[in-house]
Chains A and B, each alone.
Chain A
Amino acid sequence: MNLERIPNEEKLQLCRRYYLGGFAFLPFLWLVNVMWFFKEAFLKPAYTEQPQLKSYVKKSAMGLLLWVAVLTTWITIFQHFRARWGEVGDYLSFTIPLGTA
């Protein structure tokens, strides 16, 4: 879809939909939202829907950052302690590497 050809109301609608969709534990929707509408929200000359669009993009970005922070922390902890947790570590794993503790 080419954003250039869409009227501003529809852009806002789309951005809003992605923003709300992200709450369903789908941080990638927020990532897409930020990437897609960043230009529209911050670089384009002002238009009526822009402040709202801006707020959606900002909120999406914040949510995304939160996800990234949480996931990074968890993955670091998990990778570091999985072997030491023993049984719990195995139950938390989906695939278990062969030949390493």
Chain B
Amino acid sequence: MRKMEDLISINYVKLLIIALFYTCVSCSSVEKKIYVELNDTVPCVRLLNATHQIGCQSSMSGDTGVLHVLESEEDLDWILNTGPHPPYMIVMETAFFNRSVMLRMKNSSRVSGVAVIVSKTGLAENFSPHTTCPNQNTGVYSASYGPELANCNVTAWNPLGNGLSYEDFSFPVFALKDENQTQVIRKCYEEHNLRVNGSAPQYPLCAMQLFSHMHAVTDTVTCMRRTDLQNRFSINPEVMCDPLSDFNVWSSTRPLNNSAKGHKANESVVIAATRLDGRSFFWEEAPAAEGTVSGIVTLLAAVHALQPVTQQAPPPRNIFFTFFQGEAFDYIGSSKMVYDMERNEFVIDLDNVHSMLEIGQVGLRSGRNLWMHSDPVSLTNSSVMDEVTKMTDNMQSIADGLHISLAKLNVTQPLPPSSLQRFLRVRPIPGLVLADHQTSFINRYYESVYDDAENLNVSYPPNLSPDEQLVFETEEAKSLAEVATLVARSLYKQAGGEERNLNNITADPRIVAQLLYGFLIQKNNSWFRSLLPPEVTKKGANSILSSGPPQFYIGVGPRNIGPVHSVTRFVQYIMANLTGAATNLTETQCQNPESKDLFSYFWVSGPSSVNSSGEPFCVRAPVRLAKAVSPAFERMEYGSRDYSTWTESRWKSIRARVFLVASRELEMLTLGVGVAVLLLSLMVTYFISSKADLLFSSARETPTTTY
């Protein structure tokens, strides 16, 4: 009998477990029935500097609101004033995503969040969420250096900038990229929330919930202090923000001994620089075509064009190519390199720098014009003046030979935002910035999600396969190849190379076309795959080689996306392949070479043909990465005014979902009924247990007799 009872109790336990299991399964399916998760969304996240926080955030448990699609001014009035179901979650087309609308929402308590449909339809003539004066306070111009030029007094470089990226929103803002999901939202809205003849829609209504709760708050000083405190005292340490950081990529025509830091005797270098990053209002969504890619592509093509000549007829001076990371955020990369040069922690120091040529935005040359920008303040120094004049004259004559109209600007205009400014802060280095704009930027979509291939007019005839598109020489590719030729020849001349070799330097439009395709259209292409290490190519879509163009937001370095940012990696490997020499080292030898002083070694996949995956080999090239993190973080000066202090907040989850909500009355009624049932059952239980003797007197005796 006892045994039987044990068995029965075991069975009960089993039943209970199964019951629990089923409840869990069914509870998840109930969740699926209620919520539609939106997967392909891009949030706006919080960034902080020494004094401010910018970006967006939701509350800890997400912000919910009744969906309303903003399609007209009338809708705006409905949302902000008359609609009976606040708070509203706004879904808007690009056309409405501008400063005035966003600020009205920011100041209203009736808005719980915004979802922007990123599409090209209804795109405004121009849209730049950046400021009118990029990197205003960390360039060279200040009260002590050309005060009349400071704060973009002479030229507002980005006059179209509306500053949205630098606003602080207390509600979440997401971008919707997937057409299907946009359709789901629209359908839900049209079925439930549409006004009929101007009267309010009836419950149940379609609602959306956005989660993007940010951990950091106020400014970098506060967040670094708190992170520090938490790590010291708390049992459960929590990092709240990370400095924006990644790597600069550099190389030189003559290898430099990387293990010896500081001044190099008998070394004089001409620096050729461009920037490696961009940004937009949304997180990790920065195509930066004109803003950054035009420069990267031009410099890489110039590096390639210079390669054979600098080997056969090396010029007396070295040419030092560098791609600066994080320039969009107060010059992170260039300020770090200059800082290291000053403290003898870099391969060369500032005494080794002869001059500098920087490539700005060069992709939108209307009428084939290019402009040379120089710094009027340092030109008052006669030796700098002489060198700059020589440089401009040389470039001018080279441009004439190429039929490019290149003009020098008069000396009253300051430099546009450029890495050269960080060098000028410490020393009057002769330098020029090459750009397609005379005064303010031609780029109408500077630092926005629309600065993409279309903005650069990179498009392909229909019916081309991806491999045909890869090598298709668009007008833009030809144009940038010309600029690259100009840059390459100017650098060679500037490095003291002989005039007669100049004609042997010509950038290959095909390389430019491939670079443009890889950086603007599809990074997962056969050419990029052949240049990258096999472990990257094998992983395919899961690695940095996912489908689509790369994004150029710097990010917080190794924490999220492998060892290095994808663009940094691409530039590093492209440069290694374009300038390096193939060696016959094996894979292990390649990864642990005898000496890394002069060269880096890269194990790359090699070109693949139709039926084979290519033969990996080892490339030796003087291409290096150098940490790009603002010196402010090394010096722990989180309130620094001289160096970038940008950090990115951490967060737990970022997601979005759509569901139907019932009216408040119905919700309250359901809750009330639930509570009533609970109370009733308590009372019944109490009553039964107090009268148990009476109720169960006979039933109790039967089982006891069986024992």
Give B91 Cβ to nearest chain A Cβ, in Å: 25
Which residues 66-89 in A have Cβ within 8 Å of B in the complex? 86-87
- Are A90 and B225 within 8 A (Cβ)? yes
- Chain B's closest residue to A98 (CB) is B215
- Are A101 and B215 within 8 A (Cβ)? no
B residues less than 8 Å from A93 (CB atoms): 229
Which residues 238-256 in B have Cβ within 8 Å of A in the complex? 238, 240
Which residues 638-676 in B have Cβ within 8 Å of A in the complex? none
Q: A86: which of B213, B222, B229, B234 is its contact (CB, 8 Å)?
A: B222
- Are B238 and A98 within 8 A (Cβ)? yes
A residues less than 8 Å from B57 (CB atoms): 99
0 or 1 for each of B266-285: is its CB under 8 Å from A? (1 = yes): 00000000000000000000
User: How far apart are the CA atoms of A32 and B225 in the complex, in Å?
Assistant: 40
A residues less than 8 Å from B155 (CB atoms): none
- Are B217 and A101 within 8 A (Cβ)? yes
Q: A98: which of B218, B222, B233, B240 is its contact (CB, 8 Å)?
A: B240
Q: B229: which of A96, A98, A99, A100 is its contact (CB, 8 Å)?
A: A96
- Chain A's closest residue to B236 (CB) is A95
Given contacts A99-B213, A99-B215, A101-B218, contact A94 B234 (CB under 8 A): yes
Give A2 Cβ to nearest chain B Cβ, in Å: 26
- Are B230 and A96 within 8 A (Cβ)? yes
A residues less than 8 Å from B216 (CB atoms): 99
- Are A99 and B222 within 8 A (Cβ)? no
- Chain B's closest residue to A96 (CB) is B226
Chain B interface, >50% SS class: loop
Cβ-based interface call for B27 (8 A):
no
Give A10 Cβ to nearest chain B Cβ, in Å: 38
B residues less than 8 Å from A100 (CB atoms): 217
Cβ-based interface call for B214 (8 A):
yes
Given contacts A94-B233, A94-B234, contact A99 B225 (CB under 8 A): no
Cβ-based interface call for A36 (8 A):
no
Give B548 Cβ to nearest chain A Cβ, in Å: 31
Cβ-based interface call for B60 (8 A):
yes
B residues less than 8 Å from A86 (CB atoms): 222
Of A91, A93, A96, A101, the most chain B CB neighbours within 10 A belong to: A96
User: How far apart are the CA atoms of A87 and B223 in the complex, in Å?
Assistant: 11
- Are B214 and A99 within 8 A (Cβ)? yes
- Are B215 and A90 within 8 A (Cβ)? no
Given contacts A99-B215, A100-B217, A101-B217, contact A91 B238 (CB under 8 A): no
User: How far apart are the CA atoms of A98 and B212 in the complex, in Å?
Assistant: 13
Give A100 Cβ to nearest chain B Cβ, in Å: 6
Chain A interface, >50% SS class: loop
A residues less than 8 Å from B217 (CB atoms): 99-101
- Chain A's closest residue to B230 (CB) is A96
Which residues 35-65 in A have Cβ within 8 Å of B in the complex? none
What is the total number of residues of chain B having a CB less than 8 Å from a CB of chain A?
Answer: 18
What is the total number of residues of chain A having a CB less than 8 Å from a CB of chain B?
Answer: 12
- Are B233 and A90 within 8 A (Cβ)? no
Given contacts A94-B234, A98-B238, A99-B60, contact A87 B225 (CB under 8 A): yes
User: How far apart are the CA atoms of A32 and B294 in the complex, in Å?
Assistant: 75
User: How far apart are the CA atoms of A96 and B236 in the complex, in Å?
Assistant: 11
Which residues 6-21 in A have Cβ within 8 Å of B in the complex? none
User: How far apart are the CA atoms of A90 and B215 in the complex, in Å?
Assistant: 15
- Are A91 and B215 within 8 A (Cβ)? no
Given contacts A99-B57, A99-B217, A101-B217, contact A90 B238 (CB under 8 A): no
Which residues 173-228 in B have Cβ within 8 Å of A in the complex? 213-218, 222, 225-226
- Are B214 and A90 within 8 A (Cβ)? no
User: How far apart are the CA atoms of A95 and B226 in the complex, in Å?
Assistant: 10
B residues less than 8 Å from A101 (CB atoms): 217-218
User: How far apart are the CA atoms of A91 and B230 in the complex, in Å?
Assistant: 10
User: How far apart are the CA atoms of A93 and B57 in the complex, in Å?
Assistant: 24
User: How far apart are the CA atoms of A100 and B222 in the complex, in Å?
Assistant: 11
Give B609 Cβ to nearest chain A Cβ, in Å: 53
Give B236 Cβ to nearest chain A Cβ, in Å: 8
- Chain A's closest residue to B652 (CB) is A98
A residues less than 8 Å from B226 (CB atoms): 90, 96
Give B114 Cβ to nearest chain A Cβ, in Å: 19
User: How far apart are the CA atoms of A79 and B241 in the complex, in Å?
Assistant: 24
User: How far apart are the CA atoms of A86 and B218 in the complex, in Å?
Assistant: 10
Q: A90: which of B60, B213, B222, B236 is its contact (CB, 8 Å)?
A: B222
A residues less than 8 Å from B218 (CB atoms): 101
User: How far apart are the CA atoms of A27 and B412 in the complex, in Å?
Assistant: 75
Give B58 Cβ to nearest chain A Cβ, in Å: 9
A residues less than 8 Å from B213 (CB atoms): 98-99
A residues less than 8 Å from B214 (CB atoms): 99
0 or 1 for each of B380-419: is its CB under 8 Å from A? (1 = yes): 0000000000000000000000000000000000000000
Give B361 Cβ to nearest chain A Cβ, in Å: 37
Give B59 Cβ to nearest chain A Cβ, in Å: 8
- Are B234 and A95 within 8 A (Cβ)? yes
Give B265 Cβ to nearest chain A Cβ, in Å: 48
User: How far apart are the CA atoms of A83 and B247 in the complex, in Å?
Assistant: 36
- Chain A's closest residue to B233 (CB) is A94
Give B229 Cβ to nearest chain A Cβ, in Å: 6
User: How far apart are the CA atoms of A98 and B238 in the complex, in Å?
Assistant: 9
- Are B229 and A90 within 8 A (Cβ)? yes
A residues less than 8 Å from B236 (CB atoms): 95
User: How far apart are the CA atoms of A93 and B238 in the complex, in Å?
Assistant: 14
User: How far apart are the CA atoms of A93 and B225 in the complex, in Å?
Assistant: 12
- Chain B's closest residue to A83 (CB) is B218
Give A94 Cβ to nearest chain B Cβ, in Å: 7
A residues less than 8 Å from B225 (CB atoms): 87, 90
- A-B complex: 6 closest residue pairs judged by Cβ atoms: A98-B215, A96-B226, A101-B217, A99-B214, A99-B215, A99-B213
Residues of A bordering B, CB below 8 Å? 86-87, 90-91, 93-96, 98-101
Other A-B pairs, 4, CB within 8 Å; known A93-B229, A98-B215, A98-B238: A90-B222, A99-B60, A101-B217, A101-B218
A–B Cβ pairs within 8 angstroms, 27 of them: A86-B222, A87-B225, A90-B222, A90-B225, A90-B226, A90-B229, A91-B229, A93-B229, A94-B233, A94-B234, A95-B234, A95-B236, A96-B229, A96-B230, A98-B60, A98-B215, A98-B240, A99-B57, A99-B60, A99-B213, A99-B214, A99-B215, A99-B216, A99-B217, A100-B217, A101-B217, A101-B218
